[in-house]
A = this chain, B = another copy of it.
Amino acid sequence: MTAQPVASSRRDELLAIAAELFATKGFKNTTVRDIADSAGILSGSLYHHFDSKESMVDEILSTFQDELFGKYSEILAGSADPRAKLEAVVRVSFEAIDQHRNEVAIFQNEADYLGTFDRFAYLADRNQQSRDVWMTLLNEGVSSGALRKDLDIELVYRFIRDTVWVAVRWYRPGAKLSHHDIADQYLTILLDGITS
C-alpha cells in the first residue's frame, strides 16, 4: 500500500508520507518501517534523507509553525479594528486546518509530550507567542467596548484556541461545509451565542 502525495522532491514526498502517518496513528505508534512501507522502500533507506525519526517530526512541525506565525504577524501588524483582527485570526486558523491537516493534528496530539524534550522547546515558545496574539486582541476588544467585560479573558482565550484547533479532529476537506463556512458559523456562535 504505497501513497504518492504531491511533493517537489523525494525528500518532501517522504515527509508528507510521514506526516500522514504521524497524524493518523500518532508519532510513537508510527514506526520507521511503517513510513518506509508506505513509501515503497526499506526502513534503512529513510536515513539517506533524514538523521532520525525525531528530525522528521521536527521538520514537519517547525516548517508549519513558521508559516502560520508569519500570517499571524501580518494580521496583528495590520490596521483593522480588534474585532476584525480576531475574526481574521480565526479564519487563518481554519484555513490552516484545511491546508495543513496533518501538521495541525500532529501539533495538537504530540506537542505536549514532545515539548518535554530540549529539542522541541520551541513548541512551548510558539505556544506562548500564540497566547500573546489572542490575549492582546481580546484585551483590546474589551477595552474598546466591543466585547463584554464580565467574562474571564484567560478562559475565553483557552476556549477560542481549543475550539478552533480541535476541529482538526473531524474536519475533512471537500465535505459539505467548507472551512470558510465553518469559520462563519464558529464566529457566529462565539460572538452571538446559540440562543434565539
Contacts and interface: CB of A to CB of B under 8 A. Distances in A.
A196 B148 contact: yes
Contact of A193 (B145, B152, B190): B190
Interface stretch (A11-19, A72-80, A96-104, A159-167): A159-167
Nearest to A26: B113
B163 A159 contact: yes
Interface size class of A (residues with CB under 8 A): 35 or more
A194 B190 contact: yes
Given A26-B113, A28-B29, A159 B186 contact: yes
Nearest to A158: B170
A153 to B, nearest CB: 10
Nearest to A166: B162
Given A155-B177, A156-B189, A167-B162, A195 B29 contact: no
Given A148-B194, A162-B162, 12 more contacts: A26-B113, A28-B28, A28-B29, A112-B169, A149-B196, A151-B188, A151-B194, A155-B177, A155-B182, A162-B166, A162-B167, A190-B194
